[in-house]
Amino acid sequence: MLNIIIVVAVVLILAVILTAYRVTTLVDVVKKDKEKSYVPSGNSYQGALMVVFLVVGIVAFFYYSMTEYDTYNLPIASEHAVVTENLFWITMAITVFVFIVTQIFLFGFSWKYRYKKTNVAHYYPHNNKLEMIWTIIPAIVLAWLIISGLKQWSVITGPAPEDAEVIEVMGYQYAWAYRYPGKDGSLGKYDFRKIDAVNSMGIDLEDQFGHDDFMPTQLVLPKGKPVLLKIRGRDVIHSVYNPHFRMQMNAVPGMPTQFWFTPSVSTAEMREITGNPDFNYELVCNKICGKSHYGMKGIITVLEPEEYDSWYKESQENTFLKQNPGYLSEVPEDFKEAAKIAAGIENIGKEQKVTAAASSSK
Ligand SMILES: [Cu+2]
């Protein structure tokens, strides 16, 4: 309700200003000698304002860009980011140059060619040379920019190196879930129909590769090793975003996407670079996906390769199946023993057996 009142108030104020302006203009017209051609009184004044706007705008643009440089240009923490960063600044340099030049013409000409009685319009309908120049040059520059961008884009989204760590990331309202392949090095299949309160990623336990998959609460990555993120969305479109890695990829329900990159700076190193002992890489959602979108923050930890290996070794013991033995009921009878071994529950205790039996009979 308050919003409607504010909108109505703004509209009414604008209407009052417009009416006052029209009244003064009409009074102006009536006062003038009819023989003289009519020149609005604010003509030169408004022309000068155009120039003020140009100068203030350009100064503010550069001032803000420089003072906030560290805010929007975070330190790079992945290998491909060096290339994309380079492309970004080349594109920025070209577009800013063209932008400034065109704005100078736009506002400068508004001042220069403001109405004057002595000014006479010059009839200049066409110039083939000019048309060629401002068609061909931008075409070449833009094609070059786009082709260099596409080349890098096809690397990032193309097949990952063979030795890449494959990790699944799933966005849902309003958090992230991660799945690692476990001891066998392969992620098991998933099926959205298997999703429930516990099996949040819908691991299909009929597939043997899924029996040793584990789902940590954080995304942990090795430094200096390619990482392939297999990305999906569970409900609406989310977006896997991290500015330090210059990484962004939509997480779309029903349409898996992927992104591979090589982290080049560990969390510990970045803490030193930023001088912030509490620094953590964040995995944030970059699509307005609902009312708690702002809360979709995950922590990404980049470890040295040896640290990563020992983390992996430790974490792979906590397989999904071991933590939720009730789901053994979904494993086909023939694979059950193998599944228990893969999931690390071959020594399943009596108590757990009871839980498993209880949930399988539900
Ligand atoms: Cu989201």
In a domain, 186, yes or no: yes
Residue 271 scores a pLDDT above 90: yes
Quick one: average pLDDT of 229-234? 93
pLDDT number for residue 347: 59
pLDDT tens digit sequence for 165-180: 999 999 999 999 999 9
Quick one: average pLDDT of 68-96? 92
In a domain, 10, yes or no: no
pLDDT number for residue 39: 64
The two beta strands, 227-233 and 165-172, are parallel
Question: Where is average pLDDT lowest: 88-97, 188-197, 223-232, 345-354?
Answer: 345-354
Tell me the residues surrounding ligand 1 (ion) with CB < 5 Å: 238, 285, 289, 296
In a domain, 344, yes or no: yes
By the 8 A CB rule, do 54 and 103 touch?
yes
Quick one: average pLDDT of 99-109? 94
> Ligand 1 mean position to 196 CA, how many Å?
19
In a domain, 209, yes or no: yes
Residue 292 scores a pLDDT above 60: yes
> Ligand 1 mean position to 284 CA, how many Å?
8
Quick one: average pLDDT of 345-355? 54
> Ligand 1 mean position to 303 CA, how many Å?
26
> Ligand 1 mean position to 273 CA, how many Å?
29
> Ligand 1 mean position to 212 CA, how many Å?
28
pLDDT number for residue 38: 60
In a domain, 196, yes or no: yes
Residue 344 scores a pLDDT above 80: no
Distance CA 201, CA 176 (A): 10
pLDDT band at 358 (very low <50, low <70, confident <90, very high): very low
Quick one: average pLDDT of 58-79? 92
> Ligand 1 mean position to 133 CA, how many Å?
45
> Ligand 1 mean position to 64 CA, how many Å?
29
Q: What percent of the chain has pLDDT over 90?
A: 56
Q: What is the pTM of this model?
A: 0.75
Calculate the average pLDDT of the chain: 87
> Ligand 1 mean position to 232 CA, how many Å?
11
Distance CA 148, CA 142 (A): 10
pLDDT number for residue 354: 46
> Ligand 1 mean position to 279 CA, how many Å?
22
Residue 349 scores a pLDDT above 60: no
In a domain, 134, yes or no: no
pLDDT number for residue 361: 45
Query: How many structural domains does the chain have?
Result: 1
pLDDT number for residue 279: 93
> Ligand 1 mean position to 241 CA, how many Å?
10
Residue 34 scores a pLDDT above 60: no
> Ligand 1 mean position to 102 CA, how many Å?
38
Residue 133 scores a pLDDT above 90: yes
The CATH number of residue 295's host domain is 2.60.40.420
Nearest C-alpha neighbor of 80 from the set 279, 325, 249: 249
In a domain, 356, yes or no: yes
> Ligand 1 mean position to 297 CA, how many Å?
9
Question: In this predicted model, which residue has the larger pLDDT, 336 or 123?
Answer: 123
In a domain, 56, yes or no: no
> Ligand 1 mean position to 9 CA, how many Å?
35
Which residue range(s) make up the domain with 264? 165-360
pLDDT number for residue 350: 46
> Ligand 1 mean position to 299 CA, how many Å?
15
Nearest C-alpha neighbor of 279 from the set 243, 333, 225: 243
> Ligand 1 mean position to 198 CA, how many Å?
20
> Ligand 1 mean position to 236 CA, how many Å?
8
pLDDT number for residue 119: 79
> Ligand 1 mean position to 119 CA, how many Å?
58
> Ligand 1 mean position to 233 CA, how many Å?
9
